[in-house]
Structure 1
Amino acid sequence: MHVVLTSSTAPHAEILHERGQEVMLVVPGSASVGHRDFPVWRVSAWDAYGELARLALDLVDEPVASLTTTDERCLRPAAWLRSMLGLPGMSWEQSVAGTDKHIMKQKLARAQIPVARHLPVATLSQVPTAADSLGWPVVVKLRTGASMLGTTRLDSEQEFWLARSNNRFGPFAVPTGWDAAHLDLGLTHAPGGLMVEQALTVVAEWHVEVLRWRGQEVYVLPGRYTAPLLDTHIVGSVLLPTASDEAREVAALARAAADALGLTTGFAHAEVMLTADGDFVLGEIGLRPGGGRLQHLVELQHGVDPFALQADLAMDRRPLVRLRPEHDPIAWASPFAPPGLVTGVTPLADILAMPGVIGAEETLAVGDVSTGQVGTAITGGHVYATGPNAEVAMARAAAAAAAWQTQTVQAPTVPAHA
């Protein structure tokens, strides 16, 4: 049996089932499970270790072949359960380094990988003192957050107090299941504490998708975001020719970061920034596949399904990958949808008719409720476009995303967590 932890969807669980494998899901009590009729164990929160201990006792006599997740919120409970059951995989120490931004950046800095200067703080009230020490402006974020939820740039102490009085630090409306990681509490009551970082002037930002098997590299795939993530309402990316200078530069940093966190088998998603001073800086690295539509973009560009490879890892199979020969680049972009009850959406046919667009996916329809932008999680839809080079493909995808409009009205049914 393969045990899969997830806050929402778990595509590799479906693939395991299709391969004839027995699958069990562990999900938050608040999550709606949109999967097959898998056995389900529900937990109230991902740090409810008493509940997880009872699950471990139930599983101790079961033939559990693997315990996996592709969800950053689940890395720690998955590692804890593996240790209780004596299963191979990511250790507890690795799971903490892959989710605690302070510990992560300490490890990266010790490996001489450039990172932004930062200070951890326990509460929001300690932010001004830390910012005075680092020097304003700063970026404040959850120490164990995900999807950049709550990440805020502050230029001065006055802006900090104004943001606090305007409730910019939370609590937040979040997608179903995210409250199990306490992300709904925002920065105001973050149980894992906060990070205060020097605010860099970022002119470009990349991501790198990494997969390793028993210490050997399966692939390293760099891509460039549509815009630096802190400065945009249109999230998207284009994968780069691996032989380009920028791809080699960011791939080298990602490899070094994966080494620093001890990755031997599994996925990593690294983010690299270029500052106005011309310096490459490692933003963060997560020990899981990249989110959003990055994995679908890998499949479109290279003909490889990363979630099928995750199923291979669960079955202790070496992932066999043959990347498709490089062709015209494909870009992805997701438009912003304001919060509220959806009253109108640009027709999908209009988006598909735009130059270079090769596909689009609707995620909201009239009558649905949008939570708005939650960090880098976008609910408005997804569009894919191609072009003769990365710049043209990205421009076409971004133009289509900008044209994809969602109209909403205030809706009292938008989730609100106190």
Structure 2
Amino acid sequence: MNIIFVEPAFPANQRRFVHALASVGANVYGIGESDDAHLGDDLRGAMRGYYRVGSVTNVQQLIDAVRFFQDKVWIDALEATIEAHTMPAAQAREATNIPGTSVRTTWLCRDKPSMKDALRAAGVPTAESAAIDSSAEAKQFADRVGYPLIVKPRAGAGALGTVRVDSDDELVGALQRFGGEGTTSIAIEEFVQGHEGFYDTITLEGRVAHDWVTHYYPNVLEAMRHRWISPQFITTNRVEGNEFYAEVRELGRRVIDALGIETSATHMEWFYGPKGLRFSEIGCRPPGVGAWDLYSAANDVDVYREWAHVITHRRPEQPMKRTYAAGLVALRPDRDGVVTGYDGIDDIQHRLGEWIIDGHFPPVGQGTQPVEAGYMANAYVRLRHPDYDAARAMLDDVGRTIKVHAG
């Protein structure tokens, strides 16, 4: 099978997808922005060809690159795994008659108000939402739905740019900020109270081939607002036979069906609270922040290879074993600046070392990243354990024990 992969070199995690495709026998052709000489022998050796463009989000450049390869070999698929690349890839597919995720489905998975309109029409429980183009429209929505509200770019990824507002003044401030950043159209929605998690899948022709359920502690907006929190997310190994997870899986399947997702990775956020289980949003792509690495460790299965096997051979290679629960805890510096040292690493290694997957500790002297930069922006530890509750307790222990000092 001949597969074009969009942007094989950056970010670095993209190389995992290329190597996975090659490992299952696919002929991989890359389209990216890096100079050929900067790819490295390892990545270059995993591809049958590479075409450099000025920007992989420039649709015409992408189409021209696809046609360059089509003039030489039959192209079976065109894959993109970065949120910002999914729409140009879908447009290039349709322009060059390559099967795969459609422009319509990609649009619904990118544009939050359209996504939720489609799901409400299909009877999927979700928050009240709207697309707004003016402060007057925002105020009308606030008057009708009430505070608190969430305001974010219509096509943002995950929590990027997401703001909670609790009053008219905060709403005005958020709109002014987005205007200053050049955002022309904004999504506004009801703030849903409850616990937050995500449901990820690899789908094959509209059916779920693999899936995982993961929890945030605390919810993302709270985690990204407070430096003192060591936030975590953890994927459970208690999926089968659990009534709540059966509800999450059914919700995910309804969303996949309603949006017309066929063969793809997906990443779906959900809330569970006083109003029951509610859909939040979905991306037609793999999750970020190393979630697939955790899923691989939790199941003793290479999830990147499973994705590649589904894409290439139209079937899974191995089942998910659910051997472990696996999670990540982010460790924030006590202030912005440069890293000056750590406390507690040896203690944690001594007590929990057999369960630790890996850890990342920026060297002394390296600049820190702001809290809102995300879970892997500074130091972090990843671990796994056969018992979900024990794994959660260990993540809490790591967060309390290891201190990141900055100055």
What range is the shorter-chain TM-score in? Answer: 0.7 to 0.9
8 Å CA contact retained: 1:148, 1:375: no
5 Å-filtered alignment, 1:136-151, equals 136-151=147-162
Are 2:299 and 1:289 equivalent residues in the alignment?
no
RMSD of Structure 2 on Structure 1 (CA): 3.0
**Cα distance in structure 1, aligned partners of 2:188 and 2:361:** 34
Check 1:266–1:335 CA distance in 2 against 1; reply closer, same or farther (3 A cut). same
Give the AA of the match of 2:30. L
Q: 1:23 to 1:149 in 2, by over 3 A?
A: same
Q: Does the Cα contact within 8 Å between 2:196 and 2:270 map onto a contact in 1?
A: yes
For normalisation by structure 1, the TM-score amounts to 0.81
Q: 8 Å contact 1:238–1:332 — kept in the other structure?
A: no
Q: Does 1:188 align with 2:181?
A: yes
* Residue 122 (structure 1) aligns with: 133
Q: Deviations over 1:282-339 (max 9, x none)?
A: 1112222222122112111222222112222342442222222x44533332333565
1:330 paired residue number? 326
Q: Which has the higher helix share?
A: 2
Deviations along 1:349-386, one digit per CA (max 9) or x if unpaired, are 44433447422231633343443244645312432334
Residue 190 of structure 1 aligns with an amino acid whose one-letter code is T
- The Cα offsets for residues 214-244 of structure 1, whole Å up to 9 and x where unpaired, read as 3443233222222222221414123241222
How many residues align structurally?
A: 385
Which residue number corresponds to residue 265 of structure 1?
A: 263
Superposition pairs of residues 303-382 of structure 1, within 5 angstroms: 303-324=300-321, 326-337=322-333, 340-346=337-343, 348-355=345-352, 357-362=355-360, 364-374=362-372, 376-382=374-380
Matched residue SS, 1:332: strand
1:212 Cα offset (Å): 2.3
Contact preservation (8 Å) 2:4, 2:28: yes
| TM-score of the aligned structures, taking structure 2 as reference length | 0.83
Output aligned runs, 1:14-413, within 5 Å: 14-18=19-23, 21-27=26-32, 36-37=43-44, 39-44=50-55, 46=57, 48-63=58-73, 64-122=75-133, 127-162=138-173, 169=177, 188-190=181-183, 193-202=185-194, 204-233=195-224, 234-242=231-239, 243-275=241-273, 277-324=274-321, 326-337=322-333, 340-346=337-343, 348-355=345-352, 357-362=355-360, 364-374=362-372, 376-387=374-385, 389-409=387-407
Query: Where do 5+ consecutive residues of structure 2 fail to align?
Result: 225-230
> CA offsets per residue over residues 44-65 of structure 1, 9 Å max, x none?
362x223323324433313234
**Judging changes above 3 Å, is the alpha-carbon distance between structure 1 residues 215 and 153 closer, same or farther for their aligned structure 2 residues?**
closer
**SS of aligned partner of 1:315:** helix
Question: 1:76 offset after TM fit, Å?
Answer: 0.8
Q: What secondary structure is seen at the aligned counterpart in 2 of 1:269?
A: strand
Return the letter of the residue paired with 2:64. Answer: R
Structure 2 residue identity aligned to 1:76: M
Q: Distance in 2 between matches of 1:286 and 1:15?
A: 21
Structure 1 unpaired stretches of 5+: 171-185, 410-418
Give the structure 1 partner of residue 4 of structure 2.
3
CA distance in 2, matches of 1:374, 1:327: 32
